[in-house]
Structure 1
């Protein structure tokens, strides 16, 4: 974990306010407002250059002019298994989808759908690391741990033109 206190920035989005933190190695977290609250809402903003860049790129994403993020993301705090899932998610392009089973296969862990789901749900940087692009094999949304849950995931999928049930 970074020893310097993280930088912090907030921005409005169509799915609620977003709160991002960053340390020296990159973006540490992205939180989506849940029930009108953000995890660090009492902490004053402390923008950094990388967070200003993230703010600009997220604004472009939501306006429909950006389909890929070019940001340093620090995915260091999870287990080795979680990090392998997050690395696969970071390679999943805008508008594409993968099933939990196929994601497990891609990291050499076939049949570990439940564990894959847990790692996807623990992603500290949603949207930038596209965990919303993971669906059940039949195209159903089975859950989403950020923002307002399934409604937030459905909005993101619709925004990227990804069909779902």
Structure 2
């Protein structure tokens, strides 16, 4: 398979996975989490459905991995085609900056969001298994975790928007 086809395949994967990953993260942090937060206990039921039944975290991780790996492949292919000096051009620097923000969003999601979501899911399952409403302590912990997810989601949304913007304009930077 020649480099043109490899490039086109990597670009297709990067664009489709990246748009889906970014769109999902923006939707979740801008619309879904605030709505779930406002819905109170009913929001927890919806979140459990998304996490446990729909496997939202696993799907986001798969999209993230496809986006980053295909992006790194594209970066390698560009360096191979244009030489190492390409990294110091306007497009090279802008793609690098976008990649850094995208990877930072992924790392932030894995080390801030994922543990909070996992703890929230476990606590929600414990409350559900008890058959009653959460205790005052459980409700406080759920509220704290919900706030952490909300705030981290906003940070990730900004990082992703910067990454997407860099990727979209890189070829036009002199």
TM-score for the superposition, normalised by structure 2: 0.25
* CA radius of gyration, larger in: 2
Q: Which has the higher contact order (CA 8 A, sep 6+)?
A: 2
Q: Where is the strand percentage greater, Structure 1 or Structure 2? A: 1
